[in-house]
Amino acid sequence: MNSSAIPISILTGIDDAEIVARKAFLEFTGADVALLKKLHAHLEAQRDPFSEVFYRHLQHFPQLLPLLGNTEKLERLKHTLSVYFSQLTEGEYGAEYVENRLRVGMVHQRVGLTHQWYIGAYRKYLHELMPAIYHLLEGDEKKCIATYSALLKIVFFDMELALDTYFYAEHQVIVREKRFSKQIIDDMPSGLVVMDTALNVRMVNKASLNMFGLDTAETFVGQSVTQIFGTSKNLTNALENVLESGEMRSGLAFERQDMQGHKYYLANISRALTEEGQTLLFFMVSDITAYKKAEEHAQYLTQYDALTGLSNRSTVYDRIDFACTLSRRGENAVAIMLIDLDRFKLINDNLGAALGDELLKQTAARLSSCLRESDTVGRTGGNEFVMILLSMSAAADAAVVARKVLEALAAPFRIAEHQLHLTASIGIAVAPGDGVTAQELLKSATAALRQAKIDGRNQFCFFQAEMNQRSQRDMQLDSGLHKAAENFEFELHYQPKVDLRSNEICGLEALLRWDHPERGMISPATFIPLLEDNGLIVPVGTWVLRTACAQARVWQSMGIKPCCVAVNLSAVQFHRQDLCQVVKQVLGETGLEAKYLELEITESIIMRDVERAVQTLRELKSLGVKLSVDDFGTGHSSLNYLKRFATDVLKIDQSFIRDITTDADDAMITRTIIDLAHNLRMRVIAEGVESAAQLAFLLRNNCDELQGYYYSKPLPVEACTALLKEGRKLSLAAD
Ligand code: C2E
Ligand code: MG
Ligand code: MG
């Protein structure tokens, strides 16, 4: 409720009982009321004599003139005043009268009329009324005294009320001032605790209550300050020093543990003397926990990687330096392992940085689980981790850890709705043999890592002296590859696939060739990983697709019996959003019917993110192209998935075919894959068939097709054209 709506009599505490009490004090009785009423009738009969007289009187006081205003305002005031004085004798002095008097009093007080003016006004009123009473009562002494006494009583009653409004208004000002000061002290951003000389709390503001997790000020006022701060010697000493010396103490840092955790504070302490001569201590304090934490975090970030919490690059390098010192002293064999997540960029680009980050965090956790007490693991770059292995008894210990790391990473990673298969390549350098400084050791580990990648990734490789030369060569290769890719200095060879029922060519696989100006023919197995790393695989892959489709059209136009041309897709191509679009466009441009194009995707590419792969395979399938799973048997497919791939052909990896005639396991695996493919209504083809014995085995086990040197090596276009024209059948003669 707004205070102006509350009756002033209530605010000032003048209720009915108080009115009765006051009247009793003044001996104001019904007889007085009767006398006043009589006087009133007489006064009313005179035409407003008092207000005129009164205003003339007021005009003698220049300080009142501004309050009287112009003629119009003066007339209004005169009227108000005549009503006011007339009510004095009206004879109604109950609650309504009191409320009205108080309200007028408040107005007067607000416009600046002081209480002296009130008293002066009543004095004038009484003075002016004396002759009127005398005349009314025709000089009867007793009656005159009685009426005058009644008038005095009501005038004093009124004056009391006027003074009440003044007290009330003044009290209000004090209350407001007090509230204002309290609010300022409470809302101060820093905490304020006022103490007496015994270090007992006299006052705490709201900020300090919040800061120290205290509930109400009342609980602490009067208590010793140690209640709030605990018994920190440092703090009590500082308080006592200021108390004794009077010298202000600033920047006092202290810490405190409370329910909300460990907190840091900074305080200023000063001594003050009150007007009453009391000595007080002012303790002004700020909570600097957030600042401290930020500082600690900044310090942490100089040593640790913010994402994974592992040691960061500079810490790792420092530790390698330290490890090198140990190895120079001959105390321990020390190894460093450079761990690079294979094709991480692909995952990051396709799934987005947030999931990529999550993958790195999970990787960090798995790597940490492979550590021994004395080892360190750190993250030195995007997807590059370093392990420092101290106190190894032999270099072979590093191989044990490396194997452990590869195993730890082999289990699929669950990230959001994805199940990702990740592998890593590891380069190992051992001090002091492979380097005696951090720089040398890292260089050697980098060369070993490169070799592990070239060797097919998902493996570790120890540094060997000739690697430095080799990595030099690889760098040259990489720059040569850039040029070749820009100018498409590649060619395609085609390797026939043969149907084992008709013994005729039923398809051709396009295989990329790079004839290096100095090094001759380089295997795609060497340069395709490099193209994948530098991103050039995308334009080169599209070139392969277009060239193979165009070539198939050429053969068709030469009247050669149409057969499917197969193109290999790299992981990078397979995971690009625009793959279907590109395939569709190439088919459109070359005019090749979709059913004559086959896309080979290795099992390991598909298994890297099965859900996405299933989706992509379905989209490709809807274009009408054929799909085959390349290198089948090497990529940990589960039967469950295989059903969902919508592929047409399984290509049994050549590593199984190589020894089918001598190795019972490989023979069994091959037989199983053939049965499996047939059960899933897929065709099955054996890769790398080199001998009639292998062919005989495949025939016995109902394999559908073969591809391999036994029938033909991959051939340049002209040779392949000749072979197609010739239509040579597969010879079944045993060798
Ligand atoms: P792949 O797709 O499994 O191709 C079969 C590989 O086995 C080819 O090696 C082929 O020459 C070889 N090969 C065929 N028959 C025999 C045989 O009887 N004995 C032996 N020992 N090897 C045989 P190549 O041409 O060196 O290609 C290696 C891999 O490079 C391919 O494996 C494929 O994954 C990749 N590749 C080739 N061309 C391309 C391409 O245009 N794009 C992509 N992304 N990858 C390609
Ligand atoms: Mg292939
Ligand atoms: Mg293959």
Ligand 1 atom 44: the closest Cα is on which residue? 570
> Which tens digit of pLDDT belongs to each residue from 153-179?
999 999 999 899 989 988 888 999 999
Question: What CATH number does residue 671 fall under?
Answer: 3.20.20.450
| pLDDT band for position 735 (cuts 50, 70, 90) | very low
pLDDT of 2 higher than 60 = no
How high does pLDDT run on average in the chain?
88
Strand partners, 385: 339, 379
User: Which of 275, 292, 309 is the endpoint of a domain?
Assistant: 292
- Answer yes or no: is the C-beta of 603 below 6 A from any ligand 1 atom: no
User: How many angstroms is it from 509 CA to the middle of ligand 2?
Assistant: 7
pLDDT of 326 higher than 50 = yes
Return the H-helix or E-strand segment holding 545: helix 537-557
pLDDT of 48 higher than 80 = no
> Which tens digit of pLDDT belongs to each residue from 113-136?
788 888 888 898 899 888 888 988
- Answer yes or no: is the C-beta of 456 below 6 A from any ligand 1 atom: no
- Answer yes or no: is the C-beta of 690 below 6 A from any ligand 1 atom: yes
Which residues, including other chains, have CB under 8 Å from residue 641's CB and lie 6 or more apart?
606, 607, 610, 614
| Least confidently predicted of 41-55, 206-220, 416-430, 660-674 | 41-55
Number of domains in the chain: 4
First to last CA, the chain: 111
| Least confidently predicted of 68-82, 200-214, 477-491, 593-607 | 68-82
Shared domain for 536 and 625, answered yes or no, is yes
575 in any annotated domain: yes
308 in any annotated domain: no
Shared domain for 517 and 419, answered yes or no, is no
Shared domain for 450 and 494, answered yes or no, is no
Shared domain for 177 and 195, answered yes or no, is no
Ligand 1 pocket test, pick from 497, 523, 537, 568 with the greatest ligand atom count within 8 Å of Cβ, gives 568
297 in any annotated domain: no
- Answer yes or no: is the C-beta of 568 below 6 A from any ligand 1 atom: yes
User: How many angstroms is it from 600 CA to the middle of ligand 2?
Assistant: 6
If phi > 0 it is left, if psi is from -120 to 50 it is alpha, else beta; for residue 491 that is: beta
Shared domain for 568 and 636, answered yes or no, is yes
Question: What CATH number does residue 424 fall under?
Answer: 3.30.70.270
Ligand 1 pocket test, pick from 493, 511, 604, 632 with the greatest ligand atom count within 8 Å of Cβ, gives 511
| pLDDT band for position 417 (cuts 50, 70, 90) | confident
- Answer yes or no: is the C-beta of 628 below 6 A from any ligand 1 atom: no
Shared domain for 362 and 272, answered yes or no, is no
* CB neighbours of residue 529 within 10 Å: 20
Instruction: Write out the two tokens for 638.
Output: 């589960």
User: Which of 156, 183, 210 is the endpoint of a domain?
Assistant: 183
- Identify the residue with better confidence: 730 or 532: 730
User: How many angstroms is it from 702 CA to the middle of ligand 1?
Assistant: 24
Q: What's the average model confidence in pLDDT over 362-389?
A: 92
Question: What CATH number does residue 74 fall under?
Answer: 1.10.490.10
Shared domain for 531 and 641, answered yes or no, is yes
Quick one: which atom of ligand 1 is closest to the CA of 690? 18
What's the pTM? Answer: 0.54
| pLDDT band for position 47 (cuts 50, 70, 90) | low
Domain assignment of residue 227, given as a range = 188-292
| pLDDT band for position 472 (cuts 50, 70, 90) | low
| pLDDT band for position 45 (cuts 50, 70, 90) | confident
Shared domain for 207 and 153, answered yes or no, is no
Ligand 1 atom 41: the closest Cα is on which residue? 512
DSSP 149-175: HHHHHHHHHHHHHHHHHHHHHHHHHHH
Shared domain for 488 and 405, answered yes or no, is no
- Identify the residue with better confidence: 470 or 289: 289
Ligand 1 atom 43: the closest Cα is on which residue? 568
| pLDDT band for position 637 (cuts 50, 70, 90) | low
User: How many angstroms is it from 385 CA to the middle of ligand 3?
Assistant: 31
pLDDT of 379 higher than 60 = yes
Give the integer Cα–Cα distance in Å for 342 and 401.
18
User: Which of 467, 498, 516 is the endpoint of a domain?
Assistant: 467
Q: What's the average model confidence in pLDDT over 575-585?
A: 93
- Answer yes or no: is the C-beta of 411 below 6 A from any ligand 1 atom: no
Which residues, including other chains, have CB under 8 Å from residue 212's CB and lie 6 or more apart?
191, 228, 229, 256, 258
pLDDT of residue 97: 94
pLDDT of 1 higher than 50 = no
Backbone φ and ψ for 270, nearest 5 degrees, come out as: -140, 160
Contact 452, 460 (CB under 8 A): yes
733 in any annotated domain: no
Give the integer Cα–Cα distance in Å for 231 and 234.
9
How far apart, in Å, are the Cα atoms of 55 and each of 50, 642, 649? 9, 112, 119
How far apart, in Å, are the Cα atoms of 124 and each of 52, 107, 312, 334, 493? 12, 21, 94, 111, 129
Q: Look at the alpha carbons of 127, 132, 135, 136 in this order and tell me if their dihedral is positive or negative.
A: negative
Nearest residue to 159 (alpha-carbon basis) of 113, 237, 209, 102: 102
User: How many angstroms is it from 511 CA to the middle of ligand 1?
Assistant: 6
475 in any annotated domain: no
Shared domain for 47 and 87, answered yes or no, is yes
307 in any annotated domain: no
Strand order in the sheet with 201-204: 201-204, 191-195, 279-287, 261-273, 249-258
pLDDT of residue 24: 95
User: How many angstroms is it from 438 CA to the middle of ligand 1?
Assistant: 40
Ligand 1 pocket test, pick from 537, 603, 687, 712 with the greatest ligand atom count within 8 Å of Cβ, gives 687
Backbone φ and ψ for 630, nearest 5 degrees, come out as: -85, 155
Helix H, strand E, coil C: the string for 625-692 is CEEEEEEECCCCCCHHHHHHCCCCEEEECHHHHHCCCCCHHHHHHHHHHHHHHHHCCCEEEEECCCCH
If phi > 0 it is left, if psi is from -120 to 50 it is alpha, else beta; for residue 426 that is: beta
How far apart, in Å, are the Cα atoms of 18 and each of 11, 98, 653? 13, 11, 110
- Answer yes or no: is the C-beta of 570 below 6 A from any ligand 1 atom: yes
Shared domain for 679 and 531, answered yes or no, is yes
Return the H-helix or E-strand segment holding 696: helix 692-700
Question: What CATH number does residue 256 fall under?
Answer: 3.30.450.20
pLDDT of residue 61: 82
Quick one: which atom of ligand 1 is closest to the CA of 523? 26
- Answer yes or no: is the C-beta of 523 below 6 A from any ligand 1 atom: yes
298 in any annotated domain: no
- Answer yes or no: is the C-beta of 434 below 6 A from any ligand 1 atom: no
301 in any annotated domain: no
pLDDT of residue 526: 82
Contact 669, 689 (CB under 8 A): no
Shared domain for 581 and 529, answered yes or no, is yes
Contact 398, 336 (CB under 8 A): no
Q: Strands 279-287 and 191-195, how do they pair?
A: antiparallel
Q: What's the average model confidence in pLDDT over 377-398?
A: 88
DSSP 88: H
Ligand 1 atom 33: the closest Cα is on which residue? 568
Q: Residue 708: nearest ligand to its CA?
A: 1
pLDDT of 3 higher than 70 = no
| pLDDT band for position 258 (cuts 50, 70, 90) | confident
Nearest residue to 454 (alpha-carbon basis) of 343, 529, 362: 529
> How many CA atoms does the CB half-sphere of 279 hold within 13 Å?
12
Quick one: which atom of ligand 1 is closest to the CA of 710? 18
Give the integer Cα–Cα distance in Å for 665 and 152.
129
pLDDT of 662 higher than 90 = yes
